[in-house]
Structure 1
Amino acid sequence: MVNTLRLSFVLFVLTLTSASLVQAQSQNDQSLLNFDSGLGGTYFVDEAGIGRIQEVSPLDEFIDPEHYLLGPFDVISLHGTGLNEFSYRALVINASGDIITPIAGKISLKGLTLADAKKVISEHFTNYFKDTQVSLTLDAPRPVNIHLGGDIPNPGRYVIPAGTRYDAIVNGFYIDNQLFAPLTNSSISRATQINTSRPSVSGIDFDKMRSRKQQGDDEANSLVNALDKKYDLRMVKVTKRDGRVQYVDLKAYFNSGDTQFAPYIQDGDQVTMIGNSSSRALISISGAVNEAFSGSYRTDDTLEKLITIAGGYLPEADSSNVILIRETGVSIDKKTVAISEIKEVKPGDQFIIPFKESPSKKGTIQLFGEVSIPGMFPILSGETTLADVLEMADGITDEALANGAYLIREPREENGIPELQNSNLVMLSKSSDQFIEGLDYLELEETLSPNRMPLDLTNAEVVSSLKLNNGDRIYVPEDQHTVTLLGQVSNPGYYQFSSTLSAKDYIKMAGGMTVAASTDRVYVIKAGSNTWFKPTDTTVQSGDIIFVDRIPFEDVSTGRTYQLNLQRLKTDRTRLILTAVSAVTSIVTAYVAVARLNQ
């Protein structure tokens, strides 16, 4: 009886354990194969494939299923519709070129394009499902292998993200959030920068005050330009897996931004960087194009292609003709021909797209502030005067500070040539006999007041003779009827303007000068022009600034040194006087003695 009870208990425990195992297995299977009783479909997800999808960088174009070759680590999905519906997500192609499906088993996709793989999979599934259409999608293209060679710092094999274009060979590509640049090393990747700053004896910190970079520095120090000097970026040799050789024109891509010149890197590509050679023929296009271009001649060059590389025509270009400069072996010929007549491009050809002969001088300027009709007005650039525009605007208002107006004129290009308006202070210092403080303040002026011209609208000669340019902006401030007092006055600030008051009167209104004021250094700074005058040389007008300078600061050391030098000077003078008196006394004594002897 006891043995029977023991046997029954053991059987009961085994039954419970088996049930638990079956339930656990069922739950595990359910996580892989989810049968939806409502829709009657099957849903399967490969977790490894989902992880791969999350790692893929976005592509800038759709993949062509007719040309994309599947390979190991590509992630695909299969979807069945019809009598049997299923969805197999994130299937990873293994190293043998196969995928493993839950029901249809192994399917070989080795060496197939996306389009061919779809046909093979559809045919395979007919053995398992009837009246079911199967579709194939590529969820995540695999990383690609590329082999770099030539005279480069870092040759070898690189595994890079899918969808990477050939420009990444120059600019670098990210792998695991790290930037790899195979063509650069530490000496190239850091842009060489020439320090042209001068020591500022006057104490002005130009590094903090300068708000814009020197023109041309970014372009001169760019990585692309540095590598273009070493490698011929028009002749990047690419050998495909099947032995085909093509030459990628990266220089055309960097000049135009057109992606046709920077194709996608394909798995197994072998890339050889070719150095520049002075014996290689050149070709160029310039003139009325968006970006002039010069590089090695390629046998597939055409004028149409060169115009594309140059970013197309400028709006003011004469797009029907081109100036062709061609070496004939005996001489260099220059002629203007119709673009339609250029059937062949030869090594050494130079093409110049001309500008239209009579470009329009029409333009606009803007008036701001105290004018009767502020806004934008049409002009003929270089011909319309300020008087003409003020007449169109019905003049200035009664509240305008006429002598405080100013004009802003930005540097611009005319027919592709920049204006010689901005001075290069480094070059000026080379040929100047100025003291360094003078160059410092010249640079300060350029930094604080770029492209600004004061206008005194009360001066009829200025108003009638100033010719305006396209894009000019004219500001007429409001007259606040105040005079500003600054510096060593007891109460600096704004004071009501009166034409009967002098600079001395305003200083008195401000509580007089402080004990540190220098009575010899009082100035009137004119509104608009910011010109400094002595009070005796001008009259105070509305908007002017009266500035009272101070006696120069002295620290303890400077003051003590000054007192010691002053005392030493007094002592030296006393000694000199005593020496002179002694000498005169000696002379007189000697004279008296000689006189007595003669008696």
Structure 2
Amino acid sequence: MKRLGIILIVALFLFSNIFAQTGEGTVSGVERIYFGKVIDPDKYVLGVGDIVRIYIILETEDPISFNVTVSPTGSINLPMVRAIKVSGLTLTEATREISKQLLKLYPRSNVIVDLVYPRNMKISITGEVTNPGIYSVSAISTLDDVIKLAGLKSSASLRNIQIRREDKVITVDYFRFLKYGDINANPYIQEGDLIYVPLMGKSVKVLGQVKNPGIYEIKDGEKLKDVLDMAGGLTAKADLLGGYIERQSDGKKQVISIDLFNLMYGKDNKENIVLKDGDSIVIPLKVDKVYVIGYVAKPQVFTIVSGESKSEVGGQPTLGESEIKEGAKISELIQKAGGVLPNGSRRRIQVIRDGQIIKEVDLFRVLVKGDAEEEKVKLVPGDIVYVPLVEKTVKILGEIKDPGIYEIKPGEKIKDIIDMAGGFTVRASLKDVTIERYITEKKQIIKLDLTKLYKDGDESVNISLEDGDIINIPIRSE
């Protein structure tokens, strides 16, 4: 057995020397060196002409390495080992098969197989390309590589490129690779592939304040938000309430207004309109306007004016209904917009600039506490004052000056809500205060003696409130 092992090692050594002398894996006597991209051994499929290097790391002898070329029959031939069919296998699969055969002879060795130089192969590309024809490309070429060689016409489809491979057709949305770097939209090309680039299909125009205006091909069912994303999104100067879609319907032009703020930042999906072939999406430039929207009685767009406007009342210049003075306060704008609706938040009014919330204003602190700093923010053209839906509320009943439902913010405590409700009446009992709270549909009653808080300063009874709490302040018994 030992003698057989020595014979095999000698045979492999001679084979590697013979291989080097024959010049396989060389060009003009110089070894080919691969300078291309990194390949994925799980995806690279071996074929005729590929050159692989086999390393045999022996337990006691020096390691052996040699190059072999995949033959026209799709096999590699090793001394003392049967021909191994590798064409059509991935490099990982071929490594497994080669190792399996060699380990029969060298059970304590380690076999490594690597690709030294990928083969060239012929493919065809036709359709809306600048230079259609047959190309000889490396076996690690992807669709993107071939398209760069052939060039695309402006009329080419990027969304429905077809790779015809034997008896099947693979449809590729190449735009997803160009825009998002989706590697699944840039598949490897195989020997004999016919790539067909059809004419652009359904398309829409995107004009105005997007990062990449132009014509975009669409697929059935794609919506406004999809295409705005394709165009790189809105610029900081986009008018979020002035956008519209022009559409030809039965030979007549139809203009559809779109609320881009609601589309981008709201939860209402009705603005995300399904697009049709030929639509033009227009995003205008915002001017010196501030928007008050959300849960207010009269959402409005206000023009910022310096000083007084030219409107006159009693011979004196004054502000128009849709005008605001430079430096106007948030509370003034809310008032001009008809006030906050019953289901709107008065405590989390957002000032949004360039898509970011730059401040949240608590009107309770402004109007009840008189905290002028709370709304100290200079509005600039394009700012949005947004009144969101109220999220958390508690109800306070009994001997309190202003019983009712109050909005709370995270972390607020029972003393905070008592202050909001104007404090206790003279008949209030602080000893038997209760909080009714529901936890997983089970009612829990929390009893509090608030004399410990108000007389002794014991903060342990100043518990945090939760959404839906009902606080009852009982009457003092005589």
TM-score calculated relative to the size of structure 1: 0.37
Is the strand fraction higher in 1 or 2?
2
TM-score calculated relative to the size of structure 2: 0.45
Is the helix fraction higher in 1 or 2?
1
